[in-house]
Amino acid sequence: MQKLNSSDEITSLEHDLNELKKSNRLVDDYNNTSTVLQTRLERLIRERELRKSLKSHHEDVHTNGAMDGSNKDDLTSKIDSLTSEEELVDGVKACKIVSSECEYRPFKQRLLVVANRLPVSAVRKGEASWQLDVSAGGLVSALLGVTEFETRWIGWAGVNVPDEIGQKSLTESLAEKRCVPVFLDEDLVNLYYNGYCNNILWPLFHYLGLPQEDWLATICSFESQFEAYKKANQMFADVVNEHYQEGDIVWCHDYHLMFLPKCLKEANPNMKVGWFLHTPFPSSEIHRTMPSRSELLTAVLAADLVGFHTYDYARHFMSACTRILGLEGTPEGVEDQGRLIRVAAFPIGIDSDRFTRAIQLPQVKNHIKEFQERFAGRKVMLGVDRLDMIKGIPQKLLAFEKFLEDNPNWRDKVVLLQIAVPTRTDVPEYQKLTCQVHEIVGRINGKFGTLTTVPIHHLDRSLDFHALCALYAITDVALITSLRDGMNLVSYEFVACQASKKGVLILSEFAGAAQSLGAGALLVNPWNVTEVASSISYALNMPSDEREKRHNHNYMHVTTHTSQEWAETFVRFVELNDTVVEAELRTTQIPPLLQTERAIDRYHSSTNRLLILGFNATITEPVNAPDRRIDQFKEMELHLHPELKEPLKKLCDDPRTTVVVVSGSHQSVLDENFEDFNVWLAAEHGVFLRTANKKWIQNLTDNINLDWIESVKDVFEYFTERTPRSYYELRETSIVWNYKYADIEFGRLQAKDMLQHLWTGPISNASVEVVQGGRSVEVRANGVTKGVCVSGLLGQIIHEKDMKSPIDYVLCVGHFLQKDEDIFTFFEPELPALTPTSSFGSPGLSSNYSEEMAKFDDQSIITSEIDSGCTNNESMQTHASNNGSSVLDLRGDNYFSCAVGRKRSNARYLLSSAADVVALLKNLAD
């Protein structure tokens, strides 16, 4: 490691960094700076060397005392400059180093790490005294190397503390270790941790399924366990809120705290929250068997960032959100009501320097010497696992037995050291597993052992850190055969301690580490005993050059993908969710919520109002898709929301209000729902109009060609048969294929295939448009949209009602497809068209309407062309020569266009759901 003994050497390092920077520049979209990325590996290696050099210099300063003033100032400026370059390398905010009495202390981001267990275990020694010991575990090991953040760890201390004195003393003791306890009583722990977490979530996430032997008891106790789970998560949230400071980042960990992001966001929507899962996330088919599937997914999606160890887990999560919640997945994450939740893979690392330093310690070297003498002349194989259902220890032992049977020449030349740390010893299944493992070990040792040696050394306990590092260092082959594992950091620890031995890693393909170390390890299917036995033989006979090449690949990955980088990357992504760029995107693409009071006030102060309402998913009876998929055909029937019947009737009967319902549905559907209403209807996107006197008029030119419908129908029938739970709807001028009840991913593939059939067959030369919805494909006549129908509709309304005063208030509300959102922009201010371009015939519209009467001033734009939409934000007026009255006299603040459901839209405003539409119309009627 290079030491900085002078300011000249710092300058030299700075020059090296500048040379790297010149090698390859990439533009950062957020701050428009340039970053060095010759290769990611080069960047990480060079960064690490610079940090080590800087750290070494800090130690020298503290050891040798202060420098003279001039050198100190020079060194301070050089370090500041170096840090600035590191910012460019990282592309993120680096720590600023300041000079204070020759001490250089970086400003650190506060990070609240929230996990079920604290990194220390507490043992009570008296009424107000506690013994604290560092806990074992993958998360603790990973975060030991995280030093760039000011970290507070919040979690359960693993002990019941019912008295106030004990709670106060334990809190004070833990504060010295930057830990904050959450106090859970025994009953809550039994239901929340032993019950819901370990009995429901853990087996499902590891593909073991729900318990079968006592499944009746599990089902009966599920509700109480789930309530306890939510209560415990809320208690964690309460403690976080007590210690949260503005600007903190809250990092929630693992399946124990899936409800925590929701609890935190409900208390403080501006809090930056990330959630990371340390186990596998199962496929959607497994997750959907869980009774609380939707609630858990929704709670996790409250976080700004959702992280997993591998891409496979992230893909499974997004698939579950799509299939179970019906949300849209994007390359960046999951879109929920217009809000993007980032979903990404962040492979965890370890503090590799801790292990490489440990190998040089005297006590570790003594252990190494002892082990080498003990196993002299024999190849050492090592397994280090928790004695758990998912670790595949029985499968590993059976594979080793198979290897000894097939390779008798190795029987006295190899030894398997299996460390099996006991866990959940009070659970019958784990007790049974322990007996099974002991039985297999005894059989193999009895079969292949001698009076002086046995092939398997099995320990039912953990080893101290120094002894474990020594074992890693003398091992020839590490054997990790997890049946399903989130990551498995034992493989990383083994590689970190193998700098001189360069042993071989045999790794299960079902461990998350296989995604990272797969190129250097021998990947095996742990269920295939013969394959694992063959891999053991290959590893023991592997040539030294291949062994070295494989080790070097893994070693480079382990030492560069550290826990520090893992934490920094995750936190950087959490921060990214609140960048100025993304805030602007959300502002421009997602409309603001409608201020209902303002819309209602404007309505009551107007004299001639026009209400344009969408039908499906706007004013129809709600259907809760995730929880109510019982009768598909009944749900296909569209019915007016029962709470809207009275208020809508009041609005329709008001002589100063004209209500129009615009839908893509057939005329019969609208007739059935609005038979008793004095309402204007536009069916099939406005192709057919029904006046207030219940007379249907075709609002389409007579010469349109509809010969394509039958051939398209044949294609839709074919795909309906191929796609279970899909259906098609035949209308007079369009046809729709819907797959919202089918498997989402399969439906999308079928829709893509359908488009190929359509474009190369029945519609290749037809004058039609294909409109793709979220879960549908529609083929309709060319030029048919809800916005285009408005011109003919307005003319018909004015003609039928013989309006004397202009329309001075317009409310347009609907959940429309993107193509049909031109209805929102129809009344928006824009320069008037010079020539009429209406695509529809307008039976009641006089030719006088097409007379051009545009007039411009500071306050208004006046035109007679209805299709042009016209006006600026201050005032919009459209005049027509119908009895001397105008069609519109519409001020900009008297026009309210509202999309339903959070999404990118051309509408001015947003109503979150159909329930908000119901509430708005009720208030207007009152």
The least confident of 220-229, 387-396, 522-531, 547-556 is: 220-229
Q: How far is CA 708 from CA 736, 756, 760, 771, in A?
A: 14, 16, 13, 16
**Per the structure block, which two tokens stand in for 421?**
């740390």
Confidence (pLDDT) at 781? 82
Confidence (pLDDT) at 530? 96
CA–CA distance, 459 with 393 (Å, rounded to integer): 12
3-state class of 919 per DSSP?
Answer: helix
In DSSP terms, which residues pair with 478 in a beta bridge? 382, 505
Closest by Cα among 277, 287, 213, 283 to 251: 277
Confidence (pLDDT) at 663? 87
H or E element that contains 760: helix 744-760
**Per the structure block, which two tokens stand in for 48?**
């690490």
Helix count (H) and strand count (E) of the chain?
Answer: 32, 37
CA–CA distance, 713 with 729 (Å, rounded to integer): 9
pLDDT at residue 41 tops 50: no
CA–CA distance, 849 with 28 (Å, rounded to integer): 53
Confidence (pLDDT) at 527? 96
Class of domain 352-561: alpha beta
| Non-local CB neighbours of 68 within 8 Å, separated by 6+ positions | none
Other beta carbons within 10 angstroms of residue 546's beta carbon come to 11
**Per the structure block, which two tokens stand in for 632?**
């598909």
* 62-119 pLDDT per residue, tens: 444 443 443 434 433 333 333 333 333 333 333 333 333 334 344 578 899 999 999 8
CATH homologous superfamily of 108-345 equals: Glycogen Phosphorylase B; (3.40.50.2000)
CA–CA distance, 286 with 283 (Å, rounded to integer): 5
| Helix 596-604, helix 914-925: angle, nearest 10 | 30
| Non-local CB neighbours of 386 within 8 Å, separated by 6+ positions | 420, 421, 423
Q: Which one is predicted more confidently, 6 or 409?
A: 409
pLDDT at residue 199 tops 60: yes
Confidence (pLDDT) at 174? 93
* Count of positions (residues) in the chain: 926
The least confident of 308-322, 777-791, 852-866 is: 852-866
Instruction: Kindly provide the b/e burial profile for residues 643-676, where b requires at least 16 CB atoms within 10 angstroms of the residue's own CB.
Output: ebeebbbebbeeeebbbbbbbbbbbebbeebbee
The least confident of 13-17, 693-697, 818-822 is: 13-17
CA–CA distance, 356 with 209 (Å, rounded to integer): 40
The three-point CA angle 636-640-642 to 5° equals: 120
CA–CA distance, 428 with 462 (Å, rounded to integer): 21
pLDDT at residue 469 tops 60: yes
| Non-local CB neighbours of 414 within 8 Å, separated by 6+ positions | 378, 379, 380, 381, 455, 540
Tell me phi and psi for residue 378, to 5 degrees.
Answer: -130, 145
pLDDT at residue 628 tops 60: no
DSSP letters spanning 512-550: TTHHHHTTTSEEE-TT-HHHHHHHHHHHHT--HHHHHHH
Q: What CATH number belongs to 593-623+640-704+785-823+886-926?
A: 3.40.50.1000
* 302-322 pLDDT per residue, tens: 999 999 999 999 999 999 998
Domain boundaries, the chain: 7-66, 108-345, 352-561, 593-623+640-704+785-823+886-926
pLDDT at residue 671 tops 90: no
Confidence (pLDDT) at 439? 96
Q: Do domains 352-561 and 593-623+640-704+785-823+886-926 have the same CATH topology?
A: yes
CA–CA distance, 556 with 552 (Å, rounded to integer): 6
Closest by Cα among 332, 276, 338, 330 to 303: 276
pLDDT at residue 176 tops 80: yes
**C-alpha dihedral over 66, 69, 71, 73, to 10 degrees?**
110
Q: How far is CA 640 from CA 325, 616, 653, 663, 817, in A?
A: 24, 9, 17, 12, 20
